[in-house]
Amino acid sequence: MIIRRKTRQIKLGRILIGGDADISVQSMCNTRTENLEETLRQIKELVSAGCDIVRVAANNNDAAKAVGDIKKELPDVPLVADIHFDYRLALSSIKRGADGIRINPGNIGPKERVKEVIRAARDHNTVIRIGVNSGSLPHDSANVSSTTDAILLAAGRYIDLFSSLGYENIKVSLKSSNVLETIEVYQRFSEIYDFPLHLGITEAGTLLSGTVKSVLGIGILLFGGIGDTLRVSLSADPVYEVDVALKMLKALGLRRGGVDIISCPTCGRTNGDIIGISGELEKRVRNIGKDIKVAVMGCEVNGPGEAKMADIGIAFGKYDALLFKKGRILRKVLKEEVIDVLLKEIENF
Ligand code: SF4
């Protein structure tokens, strides 16, 4: 059983982060934020996939203005504006109703600018994520012996600055594209501070390699009780980021609900299109909240037996397929009707 480390609790829009709150899942739109139609469409897609908090780039005046338009259209969606370099975009996003902003204080400019952002956030009760990345550390950290030391040094300085202004409505991320560095830096930070932590592996890569790196890095931290909110970063449709994050949380017992598709790896005995059917089924059950295990197995010999832990399952035979529940065979179904039959069974479960 995972025992989560105690962190302070903050509230971003309607979502609690830290303390005993569920670990929330975040993703980021890859649309031009100012293209309101596309951005709203993608936000709705992400939310319907199970995303708790959506981030958008506020990289110019039009994008920062769109933050306000998005909040008007979707007031219940917790929205974070992502800011780099220009503190005025942070001020504008805060004033327009962003529930949170993400800044790297190291690239916002002189301290006075960071202070101005903090003051605006305090006036609007806006959560600030202090995002420290190994790729954008302060210049004087070149003398520090390791990257993790440099990230911790930078994070400590930023936290001191925020604390000196009495603003602790913050969460912290300490990202590296190196999995081992990321694990070490979050572990070391957690020994010192109790601010809520946003987990992620930055620039993790493509759907496959990014998933592997994220599940390892974030998963090991979660298993150690570290992490209050997370984003799986992938060079792919952001809906996959949400899918991977939710599956990881469910696999670790940190989330419940949703249809879990179990499928066999296929072999020389396989009698059906397991890869195609399980993939298609997974897409079609994405928005179903029922806590059910569904098995898709390639043969009758091992199928029902290997998947007897499943609530519902199908095992392909030479000419048709067997439908089973908890390992008990119910009836034969036509191969071409397998997806429809399983969807119906899930609906009735
Ligand atoms: S369930 Fe059957 S087809 Fe699938 S891997 Fe096992 S033996 Fe092979």
Q: What pLDDT, in 10s, does the model give residues 186-198?
A: 999 999 999 999 9
Whether residue 73 is found in the same domain as residue 189? yes
Closest ligand 1 atom to Cα of 301: 2
Query: Does residue 4 fall inside a structural domain?
Result: no
Q: Is the pLDDT of residue 153 over 70?
A: yes
- In this predicted model, what pLDDT tens digit does every residue of 17-32 receive, in sequence order? 999 999 999 999 999 9
Provide the pLDDT for residue 134: 83
Q: What percent of the chain has pLDDT over 90?
A: 82
Indicate if 94 and 196 belong to the same structural domain. yes
Mean pLDDT of 218-243: 97
Q: Are residues 227 and 123 in the same domain?
A: yes
AA identity, residue 266: T
Look at residue 141 in the predicted model and tell me its pLDDT: 66
Q: Does residue 207 lie within any of the structural domains?
A: yes
* pLDDT, tens digit, 9 for 90 and up, residues 241-266: 999 999 999 999 999 888 999 999 99
Q: How many domains does the chain have?
A: 2
User: What's the pLDDT band for 142 if we cut at 50, 70, 90?
Assistant: low
Taking the C-alpha atoms of residue 182 and residue 200, their distance in angstroms, rounded to an integer, is 8
Task: Specify whether 97 is located in the same domain as 134.
Answer: yes
Band (332; pLDDT cuts 50, 70, 90)? very high
> 295 lies in a domain?
yes
Q: Is residue 190 part of a domain?
A: yes
Q: Are residues 229 and 299 in the same domain?
A: no
Tell me: do 243 and 264 sit in the same domain. no
Q: Could you tell me if residue 41 is inside a domain? A: yes
Question: Which residue lies with its CA nearest to atom 8 of ligand 1?
Answer: 267
Residue 280 has pLDDT above 70, yes or no: yes
Atom of ligand 1 lying closest to residue 299 CA? 2
Residues with CB under 6 A from ligand 1: 264-267, 269-270, 297-299, 302-303, 306
Atom of ligand 1 nearest to the CA of 268: 8
pLDDT given at position 133: 86
**Separation CA 157–CA 139 (nearest Å):** 13
Burial (CB < 10 A; 0-12, 13-18, 19+), residue 207, is middle
* Separation between Cα atoms, residue 115 and residue 124, nearest integer Å: 14
* % the chain with pLDDT above 70: 97
Contact 106, 80 (CB under 8 A): no
Indicate whether 116 belongs to any domain: yes
279: its two tokens: 């993939």
Among 216, 251, 286, the domain boundary falls at: 251
Mean pLDDT value across residues 29-48: 97
pLDDT at 316 exceeding the cut of 70: yes
Considering the domain architecture, whether residues 240 and 281 belong to the same structural domain is answered as: no
CA of 327 to the centre of ligand 1 (A): 15
Three-state DSSP class for 43?
Answer: helix
* Listed residues 204, 228, 251: the one ending a domain: 251
Structural domain includes residue 106: yes
Residue 5 lies in a domain: no
Average pLDDT over residues 259-283: 93
Q: Are residues 125 and 216 in the same domain?
A: yes
Q: Give the confidence band of 347 by pLDDT, cuts at 50, 70, 90.
A: very high
Using the atom order of ligand 1, give the atom closest to the CA of residue 303. 1
Kindly give the distance from the C-alpha atom of residue 262 to the centroid of ligand 1, in angstroms, as a whole number.
Answer: 12
Are 80 and 214 part of one and the same domain?
yes
Question: What pLDDT does 110 receive?
Answer: 85
Which residues form the domain of 199?
Answer: 10-251
Q: Residue 98: is its pLDDT beyond 80?
A: yes
Residues 170 and 41 in one domain: yes
Final residue of a structural domain among 187, 218, 251: 251
Closest Cα to atom 5, ligand 1: which residue?
A: 266
Report whether pLDDT(300) > 90. Answer: no
Say if residue 247 is in the same domain as residue 265. Answer: no
Q: For position 278, which CATH number holds?
A: 3.30.413.10
Report residue 271 as tokens: 């009698």
Verify that 168 and 226 share a domain, yes or no. yes
- Which of 262, 263, 267 has the most ligand 1 atoms within 8 A of CB, as the residue to mutate? 267
pLDDT (mean) for 155-174: 94
Q: What is the CATH number of the domain that holds 68?
A: 3.20.20.20
CA distances 26 to 23, 50, 55, 229, 245, Å, are 10, 9, 7, 7, 8
| Most ligand 1 atoms within 8 A of CB, residue of 269, 274, 318, 322 to mutate | 269
User: How much distance in Å is there from the Cα of 245 to the middle of ligand 1?
Assistant: 28
Q: What is the pLDDT of residue 199?
A: 97
